[in-house]
Amino acid sequence: MQVFKYLSALLLFVTATVFSQEVSVDQFNDHLPYNNCISIAPAAEKIYCATPYSLFIYNQQDNSVERFTKIQGLSDIDISKIAWHDGLNTLVVAYKNTNIDLFKDGEIINISDIKRKPILGNKTINDIFIKGNYAYLSCGFGIVVLDVEREEVYDTYKIGPEGEPINVTDFTYHENDNRFYASTEAGIYSADADSPNLAHFGYWHRDLQINKPLAFYSKIESFNQYIVTNKHSNLYDQDTLFQFDG
């Protein structure tokens, strides 16, 4: 029994010594949970994974993991969504308070324009859609278009009735009819992608053909020749998928 006590004490000492060597006395270390992945973005040999508090990168070639928090350079906490821009080799990181980081060429570039702008109501970024050089951010008040190449906010679409803010939950482009589609808390909106001024609400039209045109639709995707959208329900197991083929 006495030997066991000495061994236990020695193990505790060694463990404490090992962990104490991870960082020096003038540095900080993070102890954040990494088992709650809320968004992923595959990128060639790497997979980017976001948790509510941090970001980690899994390298499929050597199985290594690299972590990023505010200590390692992130501009904020509470990540809501990430997306990879393959053409520009850039990861778009969106936070719930509409702050944005770009991971580009090993550098973290912060774009805080939306966060700093006084906007009434919901400022959450719900989703990110990539097309061309742009990242279309589905926000609680509308759609923000981010120019990833120039690292700046390009435009804002307030597509609600009479230009009122509306919670946009998702966004996609359908090549078959060259239209943008947005799912919202009050129906599905669409507009011709070649419209001269998509920032004007008049170019966006609510779909009145779908069942429950004023319902809460939480997701929308373009798949082959179809548009697929999800009607949200607050009741368990009561969501409904709709498929539109023209």
Confidence band, pLDDT 50/70/90 cuts, at residue 116 = confident
pLDDT at residue 40 tops 80: yes
* Tens digits of residue pLDDT in 41-87: 998 889 999 987 888 888 988 988 888 888 877 888 889 899 999 99
Q: What are phi and psi of 110, to 5 degrees?
A: -95, 135
Q: Which two tokens stand for residue 235?
A: 């009741």
Residue recorded with tokens 């779908």? 210
In 21-95, alpha helices (H): none
Confidence band, pLDDT 50/70/90 cuts, at residue 28 = very low
What average pLDDT does range 145-165 have in this prediction? 94
3-state class (DSSP) for residue 233 = coil
Please report, for residues 13, 23, 107, 145, 155, the alpha-carbon distance to residue 197 in angstroms, rounded to integers and kept in the order given: 67, 53, 33, 13, 10
Greater confidence, 144 or 21? 144
Q: Which two tokens stand for residue 231?
A: 């009607």
List CB contacts of 189: < 8 A, sequence separation 6 or more. 159, 181, 182, 204, 205, 206, 207
pTM of the model: 0.83
Please work out, in degrees rounded to the nearest 5, the angle formed at the alpha carbon of residue 226 by the alpha carbons of 221 and 231.
50
Tell me how far apart the alpha carbons of residues 36 and 54 are, in angstroms, rounded to a whole number. Answer: 10
Q: What are phi and psi of 125, to 5 degrees?
A: -95, 115
Confidence band, pLDDT 50/70/90 cuts, at residue 202 = very high
pLDDT at residue 1 tops 80: no
Confidence band, pLDDT 50/70/90 cuts, at residue 7 = very low
pLDDT at residue 14 tops 80: no
* AA identity, residue 47: I
Confidence band, pLDDT 50/70/90 cuts, at residue 21 = very low
Residue recorded with tokens 């900080």? 28
